[in-house]
Structure 1
């Protein structure tokens, strides 16, 4: 299927999406590759919070792209997905955030906590709260977000676990008055967080969550891996799990462990196709304790494996304990080293 040759934004999540990374700019693809240039500058969301850590290392993307040049089995959508594939899972590391997923989760929690009682209502039944617009309202501004008629958020609390279910919830700030599209969220996020004298843990789990861009007041089209022209941009997270576990140990011999895995389906902005890839921390990323329940910024070990629907594999490995760089492999061949600072930014 022939692809458009205009610029494309890449849909980034983390986990991440985890999911939730970012990307740098790009030059034009070689003529032997029929996919559009890899230009993952534009995010699927109209805004990004401080929880979002962008990945920006274009030379890595260029080296992988150069490696696959001439391989005609990849001349459909592979280049377009490169920035997404590298960045998505790393948006999580190592702060305990899943980038856009955390942002969406917080959107739901805060909207229920601080509803606009003039146009919305929260109903309560035992441990369940549901936010929706009042019957006589077509839209409602809650905090700085505009909700539209028919959208709802349900929050269920069970001990240390909170489940949020979104149904066609519009996502995006009201500040950008030029934005004529809606970003709609549907699906469920399950969040658990515990802490005691022996350690702490935080997890996010998603069976399915989709996030797509449609024309203002349009209905979200059918979900899934099949392309739909009514969706201007699309991101779906499947079978996603993320965990950050702290074991305080005795004295200063504790450890922090990060695991993340899932499936991402993406449709870049104005593209005419969707792509799919799986990711998994085949070796969890482990950080050592410094002192008093504080942990090293760099892992002593860890491997992230990303497999696309052509069964090609990108791996990012921490080969040396606490190294400033991880090593990137493509189909078993070493491509380059990748500074952790380009993945996780300057936050700890």
Structure 2
């Protein structure tokens, strides 16, 4: 099976919110106001504009009470509702990969840009096991993989045995084939991918010490990486101390299992939002486990598993813990817990919205 894991389950949550700096917000008006006409294409699938996890006012009351101890709904509860959607999306986007939404696409962007390149305006220099993509000295823009890269972008790929590290240094690109570039993305940081396979099983793992991704106006330089709202960022995502692993235990016949573990810290500012927040997540001792149906074909819903989300700074500074748990084997819905109280179930089909 390829890294895209082409099977029936991949579509189930492929439309999940790209989260924290990726998807649109919970309101179609807030997500589209005051934005230029030609925004860059999103790296991950967008969530439908009208999606929020909770619509029942009594649930919003519970959210407000859990956060502040006060009765009634508030802007804080509504913001939490939107932020929770982004948090869930970060962890489960493109399920059953179950990794933070942008990491895999950003990694593939780097590898494929170096592999395909564009000889007319870019060059790839090789030094031992390291390849570096830059624009040619006399070029201000270059179309690579239908993305308009600009001068100053650099992508480096280093391969050591079964480990590939892709590093982005001031990588700036904008809307497909668009040289006017009213908005552009800035990517910096590294992603390390390790794969191994034996007769007993296969493992794929992504590690990120720090990776930032933000959408800015074209006249903006790299913005300071902090966990407070920045009006100059149209959207923002930072991954810190992040790891994701997918382990296939082949077993015998169709008795194999796929185990998903993930943890990390995310700083996010949704598209056109007026707030920024920080949370950590960890599957810990309860990874998500999917049983094999047939050779290299696994159920797309887990038999079991849960992830804890701990709010750190920004909107939520009291370290309220949210848990997303598969309460029943291969259930179509996940339980959502605030603290130790279950507040609702979310249908996976509702999360993707369409």
Q: TM range, normalised to the smaller chain?
A: 0.7 to 0.9
Distance in 2 between the 1:329 and 1:269 partners? 26
User: What's the C-alpha RMSD, in Å, of the aligned pairs?
Assistant: 3.4
The aligned runs of 1:198-237 (5 Å cut-off) are 198-237=200-239
Measured in 2, the distance between the counterparts of 1:154 and 1:307 equals 33
Q: 1:297 aligns with which of 296, 300, 306?
A: 300
8 Å contact from structure 1 (residues 301, 321) kept in 2: yes
The Cα offsets for residues 305-343 of structure 1, whole Å up to 9 and x where unpaired, read as 111122111111112222222211111111111223345
Question: Residue 69 in 1 paired to residue 69 in 2?
Answer: no
Q: State the Cα deviation string for residues 193-240 of structure 1 (Å, max 9, x = none).
A: 233322111111111100112211421122122444433321111111
Matched, 1:325 2:333: yes
- Cα deviation for residue 269 of structure 1 reads 3.5
Specify every segment of 5 or more residues in structure 2 that has no aligned partner in the other structure, as ranges.
Answer: 1-13, 313-317
TM-superposition CA deviations, 1:95-115 (whole Å, max 9, x none): 476542221111111111111
1:263 is aligned to: 265
- Aligned partner of 2:11 in structure 1 is none
Corresponding residue of 1:127 = 129
How big is the shift at 1:180? 0.6
Residues 253 and 344 of structure 1: is their aligned pair in 2 closer, same or farther, counting only changes over 3 Å? farther
Contact 1:116 / 1:142 at 8 angstroms: preserved in 2?
A: yes
Within 5 Å, give how 1:30-41 maps onto structure 2.
none
- Aligned to 1:341, the other structure's residue is in SS state helix
Contact 2:16 2:46 (8 Å CA) reproduced: no
How many residues of Structure 1 are paired with residues of Structure 2 in the alignment?
322
Tell whether the 8 Å contact from 2:152 to 2:170 is kept in structure 1 after alignment.
yes
Q: Is the partner of 1:84 in helix, strand or coil?
A: helix
CA distance in 2 between counterparts of 1:261 and 1:14 reads 21
| TM-score (norm: length of structure 2) | 0.79
2: CA distance, partners of 1:261 / 1:100? 14
Alignment check: 8 A CA contact 1:213 1:231 kept: yes
1:153 matched residue in structure 2: 155
Distance change in 2, residues 1:345/1:176 (3 Å): farther
TM-score, normalisation: structure 1: 0.80
